[in-house]
Structure 1
Amino acid sequence: MSGPVKRSVSIAGHATSITLEPIFWDALVRAAGEEGLPLNALVARIDVERIEQDDLPNLASAIRVWLFRRALREG
């Protein structure tokens, strides 16, 4: 298992860095493909959902939770 990987993505026209473990990057890329979205668009959608929450988690945490909930729905 390798450590976290930092990547830059564009959200609403500005670049932001996200650090996730490779397994989460793989799951995120797969989810974007299954949803027919570019990776940046899926991350932007997750970010909008994150901002709407009362307890504002950081974006990397929001992505992990989103992926976990998606896996539960599919399972």
Structure 2
Amino acid sequence: MAVPFHPPVKRSVEIAGHKTSISLEPVFWDMLRARASAEGIPINALVARIDAARIEADTPPGLAGAIRVWLVSA
């Protein structure tokens, strides 16, 4: 079995008409893609939803961290 460790990969996403780059390890990109597909929505829409929830936190984490936590706890 291959070791799952890999450096983060930077990709552009669009949130509310604003483009931003997010760096995530490939396993998280795969998980994000799978969740978006399962919900029948684009990755950008799922990231926007996670971002909206993140902003409401008392101490908002960075977007990449919020995505990682959301993926492993949802």
Normalized against structure 2, the TM-score is what?
Answer: 0.91
1:38 to 35, 38, 42: 42
Going by fraction, where is helix more abundant, 1 or 2?
A: 1
| CA deviation after TM superposition for structure 1 residue 2, in Å | 2.2
Aligned to 2:61: 57
Residue correspondences, number = 70
Normalising to structure 1: TM-score of the pair? 0.90
Percent identity over paired residues: 64
In structure 1, the gaps of 5 or more residues are 71-75
Q: Structure 1 segments of 4 or more deviating over 2 A?
A: none
Give the superposed CA RMSD. 0.6
Distance 1:52 1:36 in 2: 25
- Name the SS for the 1:7 alignment partner: strand
Q: Where do residues 1-75 of structure 1 align in structure 2 (5 Å cutoff)?
A: 1-70=5-74
Partner of 1:28, secondary structure, is helix
| Alpha-carbon distance, 1:56 to partner | 0.7
Q: SS where residue 50 of structure 1 aligns?
A: helix
